[in-house]
Amino acid sequence: MPDPDERPEKEFAEEWRDAAYNCFSSGHKFCREVCPVMQVTRNESWSPTAFHANVVAMEKGELEVADVAADYVNCTGCGACEVRCPNSLFTGDFYRFRTRTVDLVKAVRGLAVEQGVHQPGWRRWNQLTDERRHEPVLDGTPVDQGRVRDWAEGLELPIGGESILFVDCEAAFVRTSVPRSVARILSLAGYEFGLMNEQWCCGGPAAEMGYDEQARRFARHNLDDWRAAGVRRVLVLDPHDYITFTEDYPRYFGDAYDIEIVLVVELLAELIREGRLTPHVPVERTVTYHDPCRLNKRKGVWREPREILRAIPGLTFHDVDRVSQWSYCSGGGGGLPVEKPELTAKISEQRVGKAAELGVDTLVSACPWAERPLSDAGRARSIDVVDLHELLAESLGVSP
């Protein structure tokens, strides 16, 4: 029998016990009703509270990671539970100690993979990503290194330079009109930028599904590529990449991480404020805005997308405030659509249902990963799902 003190779960629990007890000793479940997975499943084993309680059980030797690894699939990494938890919202900044459900879920997934416990969909997804250097975004879409800059054909963007635009796998291979719109808008404002020499996937999805070694390897490649080309600033249009570059990369590289990260939505709002961009073509739509979880809940970015929407003439904008949207999610994050597409679909249907109650014809999204499940759900209710960057481009009179 293995020495109980040398169990990997024991070692893991040593690192995570304080964060886990922070929840376990409170257990008040303010997080439950804002959790999108909980909303559509009512499964207590898939609640933020359970994710923390399991660590306590692991510490006491009552549980092995193999017993619960599949439960940890059921999280989109939306961050609602963290921000709604009183131990973050009311005391987190005071103690410099807050609820860490998102990081914990990632860490348990990492522990599972380390122990050889794989989820079949995630394993395949990451194997393919490792082979192709990019996520296998949509069956049938050719994804390979030779095509990563195809989206920019004809735009005559330089390679390298002080600022580069990083385009996530979904946008680079499937939603190519999104990065094209962003590139056209930035050029219109006279903002200089180039493209990466050899862009690989940011590594964030691998990190979210527990494939840590792969995530770090991909991150290392990208950072080395930036350094070799003298890049100082990375412009990011995808909220998921923004999290990876501002949370994962700093953890991997520490003080040596000296690259500036700029969120494109924030940059565009600033360019409008400065008068360098003036939307003038009316867009006759009745819209509401979907706050991407990774911007609103996890980063506190919610003003700028609304500023952009309010600058577009012709739009009728039915806004739902950012706090109400803490309980909204597309279901597209955290690898959930890879393992449990049916749950993603349910969460998206619920989100689009909220939009339908407002009587809008369009749901504006600012996240390429949210867009696909939201669009699927939108079709059933005749609600268009439109990307914010593309909407702005339309109003600026530039076509992708």
Partner 1 sequence: MTYRHQEEMSPPPARRVTDVAITRFEHVYEVEPALMTEHVTQQSFPNWDTLRLVRSRADHLAWMHRHFAGKVISGEELLHDLDE
Give the interface with partner 1 as residue ranges (CB under 8 A): 18, 83, 88-90, 92-98, 100, 233, 245-246, 250, 255, 257-258, 260-263, 266-267, 270, 299-300, 321-324
| Residue-level length of the chain | 400
Which is closer to partner 1, CB of 173 or CB of 245? 245
Provide, rounded to whole angstroms, the least separation between the CB of residue 27 and ligand SF4. 5
Report, in Å, the least distance between residue 153 CB and ligand SF4: 38
DSSP 3-state assignment of 356?
Answer: helix
Q: How far is the CB of 384 from partner 1 (least distance, A)?
A: 29
> Residues with Cβ < 8 Å from 235, sequence gap 6 or more?
163, 164, 165, 166, 186, 193, 262, 264, 267
Among partner 1, ligand SF4, none, partner that 48 touches (CB below 5 to 8 angstroms by kind): ligand SF4
Q: Is 210 left (phi over 0), alpha (psi -120 to 50) or beta?
A: left
Task: Kindly write out the interface string for residues 52-91 of this chain, putting x where it contacts ligand SF4 by CB under 6 A and - elsewhere.
Answer: x----------------------xxxxxxx---x-x----
Minimum distance, C-beta of residue 130 to ligand SF4, in the bound complex (Å)? 25
Query: Between residues 79 and 110, which has the closer beta carbon with respect to ligand SF4?
Result: 79
Asked if 99 touches ligand SF4 (CB under 6 A), the answer is yes
Residues 268-287 that bind ligand SF4 (CB under 6 A): none
Phi, psi of 87 (to 5 degrees): -70, -10
Q: Minimum distance from CB of 104 to partner 1 (Å)?
A: 12
Q: Is residue 49 within the footprint of ligand SF4 (CB under 6 A)?
A: yes
Q: Closer CB to partner 1, residue 83 or residue 367?
A: 83
The Cα 370–Cα 291 span in angstroms is: 10
Q: Residue 243 has which token pair?
A: 């999290």
Name the binder of 181 from partner 1, ligand SF4, none, CB < 5-8 A by kind: none
Look up residue 382 and give its amino acid. Answer: S
The site partner of 101 among partner 1, ligand SF4, none (C-beta below 5 to 8 Å per kind) is ligand SF4
Q: Which of 166, 398, 158, 396 is nearest to 276 (CA)?
A: 396
Name the token pair of 27: 């257990």
The residue within the footprint of ligand SF4, chosen from 35, 73, 108, 287 (CB under 6 A), is 35
For residues 171 and 178, give the distance between their C-alpha atoms in angstroms, rounded to a whole number.
Answer: 6
Among partner 1, ligand SF4, none, what does residue 187 contact (CB within 5–8 Å per kind)? none
The reply to whether 295 sits near ligand SF4 by the rule CB under 6 A is no
Q: Which is nearer to ligand SF4, 166 or 328 (CB)?
A: 328
Q: How far is the CB of 46 from ligand SF4 (least distance, A)?
A: 8
**Helix, strand, or coil (residue 300):** coil
> In this structure, which amino acid lies at residue 234?
V
* 257 contact choice in partner 1, ligand SF4, none (CB below 5 to 8 Å, kind-dependent): partner 1
Query: Smaller CB distance to ligand SF4: residue 56 or 264?
Result: 56
Residue with tokens 């494939």: 211
Among 19, 20, 31, 234, binds ligand SF4 (CB under 6 A): 31
CA atoms of 110 and 210, how far apart (whole Å): 4
Q: What is the DSSP string of 99-138?
A: --HHHHHHHHHHHHHHTT---HHHHHHHHHHHHHSS---S
For the sheet with 316-317, list strands across it: 316-317, 286-289, 362-365, 384-387
User: Chain-centre distance of CA 35, in angstroms?
Assistant: 16
| Other C-beta atoms lying within 10 Å of the C-beta of residue 260 | 12
Binding site for ligand SF4 (CB under 6 A): 23, 26-31, 34-37, 48-49, 52, 75-81, 85, 87, 99, 101-102
